Amino acid sequence: MLIDTHVHLLGHRDRPATAANIRLFLAEAARRGLGLIGFSDHEEYLADMRPDLIRAVAREYPELRVLVGVEMEFRPGEEERIRAALGRYDFDFSIGSVHELAGRALDLTPAEAGALGLAPDELYRRYFDCVAQAAASGFFTVLGHIDLVKIFGVRSEAPVEELAAPALDAAASSGVAIELNTNGSAKPVGEWYPSPPLLAAAARRGIPMTTGSDAHEAGRVGREIREASAALRALNVRRAEKFL
């Protein structure tokens, strides 16, 4: 079954959660042959989310399993904020993501991450340390795009699977899933998250996985999900039970 568990109905506050907009996303999911779509809007827009409306509109698409989740920013020490946000609605799942380090957004401009003044290996180490803490926190169903740090093409010198080992080990022992997020192919780095060596290292550890497009508009729902699913099958990856 084709699964897309990373979809932003609201985009970056590009549109409201109306029935008409929800239908655009669900129609695209059905057109692409998905069996499951999981909405996961950014936590900043909690007040604009309409989980009940999504579930009501979903009844018009009986061929689709529709879940409602949220994509949370993981920052160490902000457990209370995370707990409160996750308790706001009856979410089916949550994605824990790291988009920033020391208050600097990693995915806006190369200069933002550059301002941290870290050599690539240290940048990666710090990033994966944060992902490891997200994994160990126990809050999340899925860890989002676990090597987002590469988005603008900065690569580590040390093998990435060594730098990421603490994060992968934490994921393996906590039982959290990770996602194969296809959105990286549209970014300067030009490849999915995680990169092939990390994906193989995750597979070796038996970490369960899901697939996500990170669509911020209806037309991108399910993008490259068929290819991502085939990649997971080729590695004999266990699928995250929550979405089976």
Alpha-carbon distances of 106 from 17, 87, 132, 152, 188, rounded to whole Å: 27, 27, 17, 9, 13
Find out whether 67 and 95 touch, Cβ atoms under 8 Å: no
Please tell me whether residue 147 binds Zn ion under the rule CB under 5 A. Answer: no
Q: Three-class SS string for the chain?
A: CCEEEEECCCCCCCCCCCHHHHHHHHHHHHHCCCCEEEEEEEHHHHHHCCHHHHHHHHCCCCCCEEEEEEEEECCCCCHHHHHHHHCCCCCCEEEEECCEECCEECCCCHHHHHCCCCCHHHHHHHHHHHHHHHHHHCCCCEECCCCHHHCCCCCCCCCHHHHCHHHHHHHHHHCCEEEEEHHHHHCCCCCCECCHHHHHHHHHCCCCEEEECCECCHHHCCCCHHHHHHHHHHCCCCECHHHC
- Closer Cβ to Zn ion, 159 or 223, answer by number: 223
- Closer Cβ to Zn ion, 71 or 224, answer by number: 71
Binding residue count for Zn ion, defined by CB under 5 A: 4
One of 5, 21, 97, 211 touching Zn ion (CB under 5 A): 97
Quote the least distance from Cβ 97 to Zn ion, whole Å: 4
- Angstrom distance (rounded) from CA 104 to CA 148: 13
Quote the least distance from Cβ 99 to Zn ion, whole Å: 6
Q: Which stretch binds Zn ion (CB under 5 A): 25-33, 69-77, 127-135, 189-197?
A: 69-77
- Angstrom distance (rounded) from CA 57 to CA 77: 37
- Closer Cβ to Zn ion, 11 or 121, answer by number: 11
Q: Quickly tell me which residue has 């979405």 as its tokens.
A: 243
Quote the least distance from Cβ 98 to Zn ion, whole Å: 9
Please tell me whether residue 195 binds Zn ion under the rule CB under 5 A. Answer: no
Q: Which stretch binds Zn ion (CB under 5 A): 51-59, 91-99, 125-133, 191-199?
A: 91-99
Q: Which stretch binds Zn ion (CB under 5 A): 46-54, 93-101, 134-142, 154-162?
A: 93-101
Please tell me whether residue 214 binds Zn ion under the rule CB under 5 A. Answer: yes
- Closer Cβ to Zn ion, 7 or 231, answer by number: 7
Please tell me whether residue 211 binds Zn ion under the rule CB under 5 A. Answer: no
Please tell me whether residue 213 binds Zn ion under the rule CB under 5 A. Answer: no
Quote the least distance from Cβ 102 to Zn ion, whole Å: 18
Look up residue 63 and give its two tokens. 């061929």
Quote the least distance from Cβ 48 to Zn ion, whole Å: 15
Q: Which stretch binds Zn ion (CB under 5 A): 15-23, 50-58, 163-171, 207-215?
A: 207-215
- Closer Cβ to Zn ion, 97 or 133, answer by number: 97
Residue ranges binding Zn ion (CB under 5 A): 71, 97, 144, 214
